[in-house]
Structure 1
Amino acid sequence: MTRPAPWTFAERWGAKGWITDIDGPVHWIDFGGEGDGPPIVFVHGLGGSHLNWALVGSALAQGRRAVALDLRGFGLTPGSPRSTTIRSNVRLVDAFIREIVGGPAVLVGNSMGGVISVLQTHNTPSSVAGLVLVDPALPPVSTRPDLRVAGMFATYLLPGLGELYMRLAQSRLPARQQVRRMHGLVFADPRRVDPKLEEASIALVEQRRSIRGKEESFLGATRSLMRFLARPDRYRDIMAGISAPVLLISGDADRLVPIAAARRVAAANPQWDSVFMTGVGHTPQLETPAAVIDAVTTWLARTTTIAGK
């Protein structure tokens, strides 16, 4: 059953919110769009939400429908008592495609959402018409890690300490500071933050304060992602086996996924299309949305199997 959502965080960007029962309530937004092109399903990353696609959704809903869901444990989709591992969220995306979209989709995944989109394509290739990976989490490379990022994820992985750190961060930091801290991590230049989107993000953080178990949901997803990335050969084999058309977009100033990792994956998969963006961080769709819109629109138009009219 689907019903209108009571929240309007993405309404100013032309999106309407809905809640559908898919083994529990799932929040998603619809940017509209008409045409015969396969619909787009946006899949956000770790700590993200449907708002991660607000600046590009309506523009990409040309010749096709475009929707974005909140993964289990993120945004306005509750996690606890359900699992929030990447495998569980792959199952959620699979059900979402079947029940909401109703046919093969172009998956557009950022960060952890990129991994989930890759696994969905691998598990059920008939459900994916094309794949856009926007700074996806990738197998690690032997480059010097960002010390802040390394320390943060090391804390997340420690049982007990990770939970304590999350609870303290959530309870003591004002919503605005939480949002700006995140922007400082994922943007190469935080001055590019859209002010209206920042305000919507702050309001969403305030709304999420009432969601129980959100810290455990985040850590469950984080730890499962780290376990998956700890098997890089398996991940590389899965990517190499994808037959759907793929566009890889990566910012060369990404602190979480080094550009060296993206270039290595692109070289290993020469059949993919790749766009490397100069001076851009981990979320190009938020930092330089016009460039992402141009890259994806151009790729969709020239990829005959998924071009809309």
Structure 2
Amino acid sequence: MTAVHDAGPAPLQLAAPWGGTGWVSDLGGPVHWVDYGGPEADDATQGVPVVMVHGLGGSHLNWVGLAPELSEHHHVYAVDQAGFGLTPGTPQSSSVHANADLVARFIREVVGSPVVLVGNSMGGMVSLLLAAAHPELVAGLVLVDPSLPVPRVRPDLAVSATFLVYATPFLGERYLALMTSRLTDRQRVQGVVNLCFADPSRANAQVVDAGVVLAAHRRGVPAQEAAFLGAARSLMKVLANPRRYHSLIRGIDRPVLLVHGERDRLVPVAAARAVAAQNPTWTTRFLPGVGHTPQLEVPAEVLASVGPWLAAHDLTHRASRTALP
């Protein structure tokens, strides 16, 4: 583990079955992160560190299917963004821009060298914002079904209606409070699986059980619904200005791997294909029959793309690592 003087053990060790150890650091407030370790410090095969960034409503548990294998050659970390998992937040601190700043601070103060960012959904947007603002912190980007502007295609009506509710003041707050009171923790977790998986039967039962424990814990977290809505509304604000967002994306000068499920209900594959066409230097992989969270639904297929891409861009050797100033 990287030595961090203010890191203390996390109150829940939900990633332990997958080899992760949870810590809480003071990075302008308590931030939970999971350390999956990596090769020994003097191992010449150790590659660039990997930092994993979950999506809206997600947590560090979103990465348990990838982290253990990646940690064979990279020091791997998974961060809970402000307002999610075991990191508290407010509507302001949970915005995508604030979370980009939080992850940047994590890289500087905990990791200490440039990283490969692996981001899913909102975490993909946060990773792009971070790479644009702090390119010195980023050696490469793996975007897994990132939040992207949606072209003129027929939307998923249920998803569109839900996000319209989130965007509406008072109505969004009432809706989330109602869902929290009416649904059990397992029903809430299963609902996310049903939305994010093309085939919910692929969900790992152990991961679902850990998610239920986390959901029960979060019932005692103050203002969790407000933090969620703050993040969702900030995400929608970025998407509402597609020209500016596309310009920011085109300005990224780091290697990028885009992995996208072709049956994603939240970010249609047409959005990923459009961005890939605008950025021909990217490596792209589209996964038939897969939904919004391929790293959970088909982790082996995602790893089959990530491993060779890391090697192709010389991100798997110590010589490619540099310390931050």
Normalised by the size of structure 2, how large is the TM-score? 0.93
Measured after TM superposition, the shift of residue 82 of structure 1 is: 5.5
Task: Give the counterpart of 2:156 among 146, 150, 153.
Answer: 146
- Please give the secondary structure, in 1, of the residue aligned with 2:305: helix
Matches of 1:308 and 1:149, distance apart in 2: 42
Aligned to 2:266: 256
Matches of 2:46 and 2:193, distance apart in 1: 36
Measured after TM superposition, the shift of residue 5 of structure 1 is: 1.1
Matches of 2:238 and 2:98, distance apart in 1: 13
Aligned to 1:87: 97
Task: Show CA shifts across 1:228-255 (max 9, x none).
Answer: 0001011111111111100000000000
Matches of 1:211 and 1:116, distance apart in 2: 23
Aligned to 2:316: 307
In structure 2, runs of 5+ residues without a counterpart are 1-5, 40-44, 319-325
Task: Give the counterpart of 2:59 among 45, 49, 57.
Answer: 49
Measured after TM superposition, the shift of residue 85 of structure 1 is: 0.7
Counterpart AA for 2:128: V
List aligned pairs for 1:286-297, cutoff 5 A: 286-297=296-307
Matches of 2:117 and 2:207, distance apart in 1: 23
Matches of 2:310 and 2:24, distance apart in 1: 29
Matches of 2:118 and 2:74, distance apart in 1: 14
Matches of 1:254 and 1:82, distance apart in 2: 28
* Residues 1:20 and 2:25 aligned together: yes
Give yes or no for contact 2:92–2:230 (8 Å, CA) kept in 1. no
In structure 1, runs of 5+ residues without a counterpart are none
Measured after TM superposition, the shift of residue 101 of structure 1 is: 0.7
* Residues 1:191 and 2:196 aligned together: no
Give yes or no for contact 1:43–1:117 (8 Å, CA) kept in 2. yes
Aligned to 2:134: 124
List aligned pairs for 1:21-40, cutoff 5 A: 21-34=26-39, 35-40=45-50
Give yes or no for contact 2:50–2:77 (8 Å, CA) kept in 1. yes
Task: Give the counterpart of 1:177 among 187, 194, 207.
Answer: 187
Aligned to 1:7: 12
Matches of 1:6 and 1:222, distance apart in 2: 26
Give yes or no for contact 1:246–1:273 (8 Å, CA) kept in 2. yes
Task: Show CA shifts across 1:107-162 (max 9, x none).
Answer: 00000000000010000101000000000000111000001100100000110010
Matches of 1:87 and 1:303, distance apart in 2: 28
- Please give the secondary structure, in 2, of the residue aligned with 1:31: strand
Normalised by the size of structure 1, how large is the TM-score? 0.98
List aligned pairs for 1:210-221, cutoff 5 A: 210-221=220-231
Give yes or no for contact 1:64–1:308 (8 Å, CA) kept in 2. no
Give yes or no for contact 2:264–2:291 (8 Å, CA) kept in 1. yes
- Number of residue pairs matched by the alignment: 308
Counterpart AA for 2:212: I
* Residues 1:76 and 2:81 aligned together: no
List aligned pairs for 1:212-291, cutoff 5 A: 212-291=222-301
Matches of 1:210 and 1:6, distance apart in 2: 13
Measured after TM superposition, the shift of residue 307 of structure 1 is: 2.1
Aligned to 1:137: 147
Measured after TM superposition, the shift of residue 81 of structure 1 is: 7.6
Aligned to 1:109: 119
Matches of 2:236 and 2:133, distance apart in 1: 20
Counterpart AA for 1:307: T
Counterpart AA for 2:18: W
- Please give the secondary structure, in 2, of the residue aligned with 1:109: strand
Counterpart AA for 2:70: L
Sequence identity percentage: 51
- Please give the secondary structure, in 1, of the residue aligned with 2:14: coil
Measured after TM superposition, the shift of residue 70 of structure 1 is: 0.3
Matches of 1:241 and 1:230, distance apart in 2: 19
Matches of 1:209 and 1:219, distance apart in 2: 16
Measured after TM superposition, the shift of residue 55 of structure 1 is: 1.1
- Please give the secondary structure, in 1, of the residue aligned with 2:33: strand
The 1:132/1:81 distance shift into structure 2, 3 A limit, reads closer
* Residues 1:202 and 2:196 aligned together: no
- Please give the secondary structure, in 1, of the residue aligned with 2:37: coil
Matches of 2:91 and 2:155, distance apart in 1: 34
The 1:302/1:26 distance shift into structure 2, 3 A limit, reads same
